Chains A and B, each alone.
Chain A
Amino acid sequence: MSDIKIDQILDLKGVPCPMNFVKTKLKLESMQAGKILEVLLDDGEPIKNVTASTKEEGHEILKVEEKNGYWNLIVRKSR
């Protein structure tokens, strides 16, 4: 999956729910449609909730991957 070009990175490790989703949403709103955001999230509720909520907002999720104790969520901004 090294062909995905990441435009922005948001490190939300240590940021609790629902602030992590709010920050993700605001970041996506500041970006142009089609641009790609990588979000770093804690294990447990954060990765579960932010993934579900980002999907519900209509963005395209390209990849969800566990790294060393945290998660990478890669999202393409929708219109």
Chain B
Amino acid sequence: MALKKYNETELLDLRTGGVLKQIQKDYFILRTRIPGGHLKAEKLKKYAILAKKYGKDYVHVSTRQGIEIPWIHIKNINSLLKDMKKFGILKGACGPRSRNLIACPGSSVCRFGFVDAEKLAMKLDKVAFGKEVPKKFKVAITGCMNSCAKPQENDLGFQAQGEPEVDLDACIHCTLCAKVCEKVCARGKGQPAIVMDKDKKPVYRKENCYFEGDCVRVCPVSAWKTKKVGFKVYIGGKVGRFPRFGTEIAEFVEEKKIPKIIEKSVEYYKEIANKGERFGEALDRTGLKKAKDKIL
């Protein structure tokens, strides 16, 4: 059978659909996306079916919470895409567009999480994925200061944080809160946010707080509680050949503002970046002040 010849436009179309050329002649990699990394077991079985039928009976789990199926022969691409659609498997992106939004599990299962980052990521897929941009655009959401989803390494990153408050009547004067604070806030801010007075009562100094929640977790009688939850916002992060951490531009941003911030960041990126340039590189030229005005 004569193989169909693909021209450049068709190849580009295949790429935007998450089909990448392998180094081996006539073979392609199917890139899928899993918003927030949350994948139903039933759908995982469908991946197995596709990998067996079209690939070499294995998948590659990407660093962006996607699953890739290599070794798809060029003559099978269309039929694979049909099956994929039938199974409800989502295509990933390549080329100049925004990528799968990644997240840690957050409070769905993690004891450190302030928010359910996974659920939030699934909700935001529509806003964040597949937008045409000058190079690429990556968004990450992480549920606490541990940064497991690496918001600082993405073009746009959200990091949940929590402000604690103490009920002194419930306190049993064990001093554990001050002990954990010494390890984190004192390291992050130079001074601890919690110190004990002479009666072993905690005194809270918000200006030194790292908002990471260890005091709330360790308190044996739940005298420390989380009063307020919000997000730090980082822009301009990337890794690649020339890595650059994102810069923090806001603290305690409300969850409901996130979709707008994503939209405006993509918009601003398109406005300031040259073709082939990442957000952070463009920001190095145009500065942060204007970016904050436009995005926040």
Chain B residue at minimal CB-CB distance from A54? B220
Q: How far is the CB of A72 from chain B (nearest CB, A)?
A: 10
Q: How far is the CB of B295 from chain A (nearest CB, A)?
A: 37
Whether the pair A65, B180 counts as a contact (CB closer than 8 A) is: no
- What DSSP secondary structure best describes chain B's contact surface? loop
Chain A 32-71 near chain B by CB (<8 Å), digits 1 or 0:
0000000000000001100110111000011111100000
Whether the pair B175, A51 counts as a contact (CB closer than 8 A) is: no
Q: Which of B176, B217, B222 contacts A64 (CB 8 A)?
A: B176
Whether the pair A52, B175 counts as a contact (CB closer than 8 A) is: no
Q: Which of B179, B180, B220 contacts A61 (CB 8 A)?
A: B220
Whether the pair A51, B218 counts as a contact (CB closer than 8 A) is: yes
The CA-CA distance from A55 to B170 in the complex, in Å, is 15
> Given the interface contacts A48-B218, A61-B221, A64-B220, does A56 sit within 8 Å of B175 by beta carbon?
no
Whether the pair A52, B218 counts as a contact (CB closer than 8 A) is: yes
Whether the pair A56, B111 counts as a contact (CB closer than 8 A) is: yes
Q: How far is the CB of B260 from chain A (nearest CB, A)?
A: 35
Residues in A whose Cβ lies below 8 Å from that of B176? 47-48, 51, 64
Number of cross-chain contacts by CB at 8 Å = 29
The CA-CA distance from A55 to B177 in the complex, in Å, is 14
**B239 close to A (CB within 8 Å):** no
> Given the interface contacts A48-B179, A48-B180, A52-B217, does A63 sit within 8 Å of B174 by beta carbon?
yes
Residues in B whose Cβ lies below 8 Å from that of A65? 174
Q: How far is the CB of B162 from chain A (nearest CB, A)?
A: 15
Q: How far is the CB of A48 from chain B (nearest CB, A)?
A: 5
**B172 close to A (CB within 8 Å):** yes
Interface size class of chain A, counting residues whose CB lies under 8 Å from the partner chain: 10 to 19
The CA-CA distance from A11 to B237 in the complex, in Å, is 48
The CA-CA distance from A44 to B175 in the complex, in Å, is 12
Whether the pair B172, A64 counts as a contact (CB closer than 8 A) is: yes
The CA-CA distance from A71 to B172 in the complex, in Å, is 15
Residues in A whose Cβ lies below 8 Å from that of B221? 61
Chain B residue at minimal CB-CB distance from A65? B174
The CA-CA distance from A66 to B172 in the complex, in Å, is 13
The CA-CA distance from A64 to B218 in the complex, in Å, is 11
The CA-CA distance from A65 to B175 in the complex, in Å, is 8
Q: Which of A47, A55, A62 contacts B222 (CB 8 A)?
A: A55
Residues in B whose Cβ lies below 8 Å from that of A56? 111
Q: What are 16 A-to-B residue pairs whose CB atoms are below 8 Å?
A: A47-B176, A47-B179, A48-B176, A48-B179, A48-B218, A51-B176, A52-B218, A55-B219, A55-B220, A55-B222, A61-B221, A62-B172, A64-B176, A64-B220, A65-B174, A66-B175
Q: Which 6 A-B pairs have the closest CB atoms?
A: A64-B174, A61-B220, A52-B217, A52-B218, A64-B220, A51-B220
